[in-house]
C-alpha cells in the first residue's frame, strides 16, 4: 500500500535532545487520529460569521453541531478500517470530537504510519519521538487532520510564577517593576469592578497537564474568604488522574492557582478539572473532552498551559484551532494564558505562545497592579526581567492573517515606531500577573503568592462565569465584540515585554487592557437569547 506524507505532521528532534536507542517494539500506547468536520462549507460559513465585530451569536445545539461540525460516519469508518488492517485496536471513536483513539505496539504503529520511533534524552526528561512526517494512504489524506501521540515529548509548560523574594517598598525601577503586595482573587475582582454574581448554574472547565488538588487545602483556603469550598469534579483523560505531586513548584501549583482564583470569584460555579498527559495528544484530547462534555457542560474553559509556536507541528495548529472554533460554535468561551517569558517566549527571536495564538481563544496577557484604597492606583505591563518573568505577546507566525477584528492594528515597538500585524496579534486582554502584586493561594499545605499569566486566564473565566450566570445563553466567543468596544477594558499605556511596548489602544503586551468588569457585563445586558 503506497503511502504519502500527512501535510503538517513533520517532527524534528528537540533542541538539545540526544537519541539513546530504538523504542521497544513491544511497548503499547495510544494515538489520537483527528478527522475533518463533516460539512466543511458550513464550518467555513460559521467561522466567517464569528469574526464580525459586535456580533452576538446563537450557539449551535449539540445536534446541530453534529450535522455540520462533527465527523462523518464514512471518515470514522475509514480510519477504523485502516487501524484493523494494521493490527491496531480502536479504543474509542467520537464523532463530536472527530477523534479516533487507537492502541497498539510500537511495531504496529511504525508499520501503520511508516515512521521510526526512538527514545530520546533531554533536559526535561526522556521521551519517545520520531523525525519526519507521518505517512498515510492517499484515501485518508483528505479526511485526516492530525495523528498525535506517536511522539510523547512534554508539549507545554505551566504559566505561573511563584513569588520568591518580595521587594520592599521602593520607587519603581525603569522597567516598571512593582513593589511587593498581594491580593486575594476577590480583591482583584473588586479592583476591576466585576459585576455582582456567583456563577451559580455555570461550570468552568480547566485543562491541567499534571498535578492535582487537595480537599484539605481547598477547605483551608476558602474558609477565611467566607466561602464554601466549591464543587469540584475531576475528569480523567487518556488515563491521567487527579494526582497531587506534593510540590507547589510543580503542576500542583498550576492546578490550585486555577481553581482558587476562579472558584473564589465564581464560588457557586462547578469547577470541572480535565486531567491529561502533557503531550500534544493529551492536551488536545483534554480540550475536546471539555468542549463536548455533555454532562458537566462548561460554558467557559481556562487554559494556563502552552509553549512557543516553534515547538508545535502544523497539524497541531490546525487540530487545536478547529477545536477552539468548535467551542465558539457551541457558545463556550476559552481563556488562555499568553505566557510568562516576554516577547521571546523562552525561544530565540520573537515568539508568541500557543494555544494562546489561536484566533478562536481569548489570549490573556499580564500586568502589574497597584491599588490605592479600593481602586486601581496604577497598572503597567508586567515585566520583572528575564529571570523573574514578563507577559508574553507579539505577532503569530503560525496564523499569518490578522483576524478581521484585528485588521488595521499595529504593534508598538520598544525601540520606537510600530509594526503592522502580519498575523494574529497576542494577547487580546490582560490582568494582574506580576508575582510582586500577586495572588494569595494555598498549595500543598502552604500559603504562597503566585503570579504569571496562568492567573489571568481563570481571572477572566471567573468574570465570564459571573456574566453567564445572569443570562439564558452564554456569551461565547467575545473577541469581536471586545475589539468593537475597547472602552470596556482599562487601557495599559506604560511598560514593555521586551520587543513590544504598551501604547494607547491595543498593544502586543496587554492587548486591549485589563477588565472593566461592569462595562464588559453591560455588553451582554440582554437576558434573552442572543441573536445572530
Residues marked active site are found at 254, 258, 454
Q: Are 340 and 453 in contact (CB under 8 A)?
A: yes
CA distance 115 to 202: 44
Helices (H), 96-143: 106-113, 138-141
The set of cell numbers assigned to 321 is 484551532
Q: How deeply is 412 buried, as exposed, middle or buried, from its count of CB atoms within 10 A (0-12, 13-18, 19+)?
A: buried
- Read off the DSSP letter of residue 179: P
Q: Are 411 and 507 in contact (CB under 8 A)?
A: yes
Q: How many CB atoms lie within 10 A of CB 139?
A: 12
- CA distance to 317, 360, 411, 509, per residue, from 407 (Å): 21, 15, 12, 18
CA distance 487 to 485: 5
Q: How deeply is 5 buried, as exposed, middle or buried, from its count of CB atoms within 10 A (0-12, 13-18, 19+)?
A: middle
Residue bearing cell 500559603:
447
CA distance 209 to 186: 26
CA distance 145 to 299: 26
Q: How many CB atoms lie within 10 A of CB 42?
A: 14
Q: Are 74 and 82 in contact (CB under 8 A)?
A: no
Per the DSSP assignment, residues forming a β-bridge with 92 are 101
Q: How many CB atoms lie within 10 A of CB 294?
A: 7
SS3 259: helix
Terminal CA-to-CA distance of the chain, rounded, Å?
A: 48
Amino acid at each position: 500500500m503506497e503511502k504519502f506524507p500527512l501535510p503538517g505532521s513533520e517532527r524534528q528532534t528537540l533542541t538539545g535532545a540526544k537519541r539513546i536507542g530504538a523504542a521497544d517494539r513491544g511497548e503499547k500506547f495510544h494515538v489520537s487520529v483527528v478527522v475533518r468536520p463533516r460539512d466543511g462549507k458550513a464550518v467555513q460559513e460559521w467561522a466567517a460569521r464569528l469574526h464580525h465585530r459586535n456580533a452576538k451569536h446563537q450557539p449551535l445545539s449539540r445536534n446541530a453541531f453534529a450535522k455540520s461540525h462533527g465527523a462523518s460516519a464514512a471518515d470514522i469508518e475509514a480510519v477504523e478500517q485502516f487501524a484493523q488492517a494494521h493490527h491496531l485496536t480502536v479504543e474509542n471513536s467520537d464523532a463530536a470530537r472527530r477523534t479516533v483513539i487507537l492502541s497498539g505496539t510500537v511495531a504496529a504503529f511504525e508499520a501503520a504510519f511508516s515512521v521510526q520511533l526512538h527514545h530520546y534524552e533531554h533536559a526535561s526528561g526522556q521521551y519517545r519521538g520520531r523525525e519526519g512526517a507521518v505517512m498515510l494512504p492517499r484515501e485518508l489524506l483528505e479526511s485526516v487532520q492530525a495523528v498525535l501521540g506517536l511522539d510523547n515529548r512534554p508539549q507545554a509548560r505551566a504559566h505561573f510564577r511563584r513569588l520568591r523574594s518580595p521587594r520592599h517598598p521602593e520607587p519603581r525601577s525603569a522597567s516598571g517593576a512593582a513593589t511587593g503586595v498581594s491580593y486575594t482573587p476577590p480583591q482583584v475582582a473588586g479592583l476591576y469592578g466585576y459585576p455582582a454574581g456567583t456563577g451559580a448554574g455555570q461550570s468552568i472547565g480547566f485543562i491541567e497537564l499534571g498535578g492535582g488538588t487537595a480537599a484539605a487545602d481547598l477547605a483551608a483556603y476558602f474558609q477565611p474568604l467566607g466561602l464554601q469550598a466549591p464543587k469540584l469534579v475531576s475528569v480523567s483523560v487518556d488515563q491521567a488522574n487527579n494526582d497531587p505531586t506534593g510540590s507547589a513548584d510543580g503542576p500542583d501549583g498550576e492546578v490550585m492557582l486555577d481553581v482558587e482564583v476562579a472558584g473564589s470569584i465564581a464560588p457557586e460555579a462547578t469547577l470541572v478539572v480535565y486531567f491529561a498527559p502533557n503531550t500534544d495528544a493529551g492536551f488536545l484530547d483534554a480540550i475536546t473532552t471539555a468542549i463536548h462534555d455533555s454532562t458537566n457542560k462548561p460554558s467557559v474553559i481556562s487554559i494556563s498551559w502552552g509553549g512557543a509556536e516553534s515547538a508545535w507541528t502544523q497539524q497541531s495548529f490546525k487540530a487545536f484551532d478547529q477545536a477552539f472554533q468548535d467551542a465558539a460554535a457551541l457558545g463556550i468561551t476559552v481563556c488562555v494564558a499568553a505566557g510568562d517569558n516576554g516577547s521571546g517566549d523562552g525561544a530565540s527571536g520573537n515568539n508568541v505562545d500557543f494555544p494562546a495564538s489561536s484566533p478562536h481563544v481569548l489570549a490573556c496577557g499580564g500586568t502589574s497592579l497597584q491599588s490605592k484604597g479600593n481602586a486601581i492606583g496604577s497598572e503597567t505591563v508586567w515585566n520583572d526581567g528575564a529571570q523573574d518573568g514578563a507577559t508574553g505577546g507579539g505577532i503569530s507566525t503560525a496564523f499569518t492573517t490578522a483576524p478581521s477584528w484585528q485588521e488595521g492594528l499595529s504593534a508598538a515597538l520598544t525601540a520606537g515606531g510600530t509594526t503592522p500585524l502580519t498575523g494574529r496579534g497576542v494577547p487580546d486582554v490582560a490582568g494582574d500577573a506580576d508575582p510582586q502584586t500577586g495572588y494569595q493561594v494555598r498549595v500543598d499545605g502552604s500559603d504562597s503568592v503566585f503570579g504569571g499569566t496562568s492567573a489571568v486566564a481563570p481571572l477572566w473565566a471567573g468574570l465570564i462565569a459571573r456574566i453567564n450566570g445572569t443570562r439564558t445563553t452564554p456569551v461565547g466567543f467575545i473577541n469581536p465584540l471586545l475589539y468593537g468596544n475597547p472602552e470596556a477594558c482599562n487601557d495599559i499605556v506604560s511598560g514593555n515585554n521586551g520587543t513590544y511596548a504598551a501604547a494607547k489602544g491595543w498593544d502586543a503586551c496587554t492587548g486591549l487592557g485589563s477588565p472593566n468588569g461592569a462595562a464588559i457585563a453591560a455588553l451582554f445586558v440582554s437576558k434573552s437569547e442572543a441573536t445572530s
